[in-house]
């Protein structure tokens, strides 16, 4: 769903998944692939689930904050007038050091 309007939005994912699948370790070791090459070699087994691998890659490709390219609801930005009533220097822990000193002196 779009983070601005909450309506469903279409996301197109075009991704190459750079994996080479082999049946055995020996076959993987025999491949002429550089250590830092573009492919990851995966040795399959009876328990190996290719659909799970593809699903994980697709999930990782989804945007963290999906939105329409052109959304009817535009995000609001804060203006100077919006923050006019806020204190200029907001220091929520300014009294903490004094409180620590008082507790230390009292032995608590």
* CB distance 74 to 11 below 8 Å: no
Q: Is residue 76 part of a domain?
A: no
Q: How confident is the model at residue 88 (pLDDT cuts 50, 70, 90)?
A: low
Which residues constitute the domain of residue 56?
Answer: 19-61
C-alpha 35/C-alpha 37 separation (Å) is: 6
**Chain centroid to CA 90: how far?**
30
Q: Say which residue the tokens 């822990």 belong to.
A: 93
Q: Is residue 42 part of a domain?
A: yes
The pLDDT tens digits for 13-48 are 888 878 788 878 888 777 777 666 677 777 877 788
Nearest alpha carbon to residue 65 among 2, 12, 7: 2
Q: Is residue 38 part of a domain?
A: yes
* CB distance 31 to 25 below 8 Å: no
Q: How many domains are contained in the chain?
A: 1
Q: Is residue 79 part of a domain?
A: no
Q: Is residue 25 part of a domain?
A: yes
Predicted local distance difference test score (pLDDT) of residue 20: 80
Q: Is residue 9 part of a domain?
A: no
Q: Is residue 74 part of a domain?
A: no
Q: Is residue 78 part of a domain?
A: no
Predicted local distance difference test score (pLDDT) of residue 70: 84
| pTM, full prediction | 0.49
């Amino acid at each position: 769903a779009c983070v601005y309007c909450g309506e469903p939005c279409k996301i197109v994912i075009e991704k190459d998944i750079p994996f080479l699948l082999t049946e055995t370790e020996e076959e993987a070791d025999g491949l002429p692939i550089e250590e830092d090459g573009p492919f990851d070699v995966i040795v399959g087994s009876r328990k190996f689930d290719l659909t799970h691998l593809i699903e994980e890659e697709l999930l990782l490709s989804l945007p963290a904050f999906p939105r329409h390219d052109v959304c009817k609801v535009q995000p609001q930005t804060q203006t100077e007038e919006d923050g006019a009533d806020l204190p200029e220097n907001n220091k929520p822990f300014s009294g903490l050091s004094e409180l620590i000193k008082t507790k230390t002196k009292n032995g608590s």
